[in-house]
A and B are shown apart, each in its own frame.
Chain A
């Protein structure tokens, strides 16, 4: 009996179909809607509308604000945790790392509902601190994505480099700032990418926390739920471009830090 042989090209067909159906085609649909009006004619009104409306620009700025603060909080909370775990001689440290990742195994809705109850208990009415609650909610959600890449880079850090720094006259603080920190930059960059981008758009967290504030994601959501495909698509497209620029920037940064064994564990 003759066996069936596929060439590499043939094996690629299902994936190519998938990409065309779910990535490329939707992209064209978004571009089409973004540059047309209700009658299907070409227009740039959606684009100019975005930049002239104080509402959309304000939301963009606010989203950036939340994303920057969330990323900052995540970074400062995650680095010490990752550092302590990676450098300790603890036998079961993988178990401890798992403890930080464990919340991700619990259903997202359940997690945020629990957080909502706790915050309500502490604050009374959630509406009083919308910005703070947004940051708390997102930090809670995204912290593992910051810890894991940093932990992985620190784990891969060659101990003899630290000994070499120590041997050449650096104390432990100098060793940290001159060797450990620069060499963990790839992990930090991966962490930032993984936290910053979702926290600009993930409005579900805010919605569930009865949050009245708007971020980019909520804006798109509100247009779409009002069947305004055109404005919604334009915002989605702009967001896509922002993400593209951001990714290009971080990629360049990772290249420059050489030795880019970025610890993307996820």
Chain B
């Protein structure tokens, strides 16, 4: 059955899904995704990024605040979970402790009123699939974590769902078991041809298993792509930082296929307009150590850590710190040269060079931001305006200007904001919700109590969730009127 004009290959489509909780916290924001039949899709992101909420909306445990979830072209976003041909493998397995393994797996089949013989046959078959033949009469409590995990998968798969949802299913297992289960799950997916939607915060797990990865942060999709795309061509600094280790440097394009960062010029493969501010991402394994004379960048080794397959070497060059993975060791204190091949440099146009915050104006002509602490001369930004003798803002004809509809954009560069741990030092307080190391400084996102996000560059290391006060020098702020 085909409805709308959706692609028949897509088993499920999420269209501008947004979930806002009662306390006005936006967990998922404008989420758009198409999943093809039989695909293995992974939602990847740090905790609190909205990946589990999205999965729960597909399962039916949460109803989206707005948007549509189309299953084979039909909107199911308001259907209860028991009416959806979708099954879930829960994070902590959620096996029924009062039932034995057989009854756990047969739970869904019995509700479908299948014949006893058929149920027995199906349970036996699915137990074989997860390598736990003959476990029918065992109690849940007598099983190890890995075995419980397999039963949870069997219990979901026995219902032959159109989509299998997996909510960090391997999170509670030890490393070796996790690796084994990753391969097994991947094998099961290939054999069964069922669509898998998988949630994890483990980037390696996502890269190993998925056909398609959806990287999420703060309720928004950062990038959708194949594991190779995500790893080799990260769209922004967040993705680059989250997927694998990377060196991220601020830089600038200096010519056709030429880029300057870390105090040196490099050839690159990304054709970006000359003079554009960029972030350059270099994977640690793409940096080649050579002699100081041959290197484009010269530096000094400050640490060497043996990591089994390779050494992790940290080199300081000027203000920049560069992490290198190499099979050859180096000595701390060595002067070395570094080379980077053009295909080892990935360039992203700096998305957030400036903080631009939109705000209204209150009745006393103060900006509705930072508790009116900013002194903005409205006559300078509203054309042909002046204050009359009653201190009312008027236009050329002397008529009062309706300020309630006007919006002012407050702009300040990240490097102009200073952070302090003295709450009274600056104009506003907030918590650090994100930090990315960019070679010679850290780029922070500070969320204020009024839910405004400021990007702040600072050379000192602060911790996630640190409470900081933002010092914004008055003269560094520019105001523009929103048209």
A interface with B by C-beta (< 8 Å): 158, 160-161, 163-171, 174, 178-179, 182-183, 185, 257-259
In chain B, residues 79-134, which have Cβ atoms closer than 8 Å to a Cβ of chain A? 80-82, 86-88, 90-92, 94-98, 107-108, 111-112
Task: For A164, give its contact among B80, B88, B98 (CB under 8 Å).
Answer: B88
CA distance A179 to B81 in the complex (A): 16
Q: Is the CB of A163 within 8 A of B90?
A: yes
25 A-B pairs in the complex with CB atoms less than 8 angstroms apart = A158-B94, A160-B91, A160-B94, A161-B94, A163-B61, A163-B81, A164-B88, A164-B90, A165-B96, A166-B61, A166-B82, A167-B61, A169-B108, A169-B111, A169-B112, A170-B111, A171-B82, A174-B111, A179-B98, A182-B98, A183-B97, A183-B98, A257-B98, A258-B97, A259-B141
Give the interface SS of chain A, mostly helix, strand, loop or mixed: helix
The answer to whether B108 touches A168 (Cβ under 8 A) is yes
Q: Are B81 and A167 in contact (CB under 8 A)?
A: yes
**Residues of chain B with a CB closer than 8 A to A166's CB:** 60-61, 80-82
A163-B61, A183-B97, A258-B141 known; 19 other A-B pairs, CB under 8 Å?
A160-B92, A163-B81, A163-B90, A164-B88, A164-B96, A167-B60, A167-B86, A167-B87, A167-B88, A168-B87, A168-B111, A168-B155, A169-B111, A169-B112, A169-B159, A174-B111, A182-B98, A185-B98, A258-B139
B59 contacts chain A at the CB level, 8 A cutoff: yes
Q: Please state if A163 and B94 are interface contacts (CB–CB under 8 Å).
A: yes
State in angstroms the CA–CA spacing of A168 and B155 once bound together.
8
Could you say which residues of chain B place their CB within 8 Å of the CB of A171? Answer: 80, 82
Chain A residues within an 8 Å CB radius of B156: 167-168
Is the CB–CB distance between B90 and A165 below 8 Å? no
Q: How far is the CA of A257 from the CA of B61 in the complex (A)?
A: 28
A179 to B80, CA, bound (A): 18
- Shortest distance from the beta carbon of A253 to any chain B beta carbon, whole Å: 13
B446 CB to nearest chain A CB (Å): 30
Q: Are A164 and B111 in contact (CB under 8 A)?
A: no
Residue pair B107, A168 in contact (C-beta under 8 Å)? yes
Kindly provide the distance from the CB of B58 to the nearest chain A CB, expressed in whole angstroms. Answer: 11
Note all chain B residues with C-beta closer than 8 A to A160: 90-92, 94
Cβ B97 vs Cβ A259 within 8 A: yes
**Across the two chains, which residue of chain B brings its CB closest to A171?**
B82
Tell which of B82, B88, B91, B98 touches A170, judged by Cβ atoms closer than 8 Å: B82
State the CA gap A178–B103 with chains docked (Å): 11
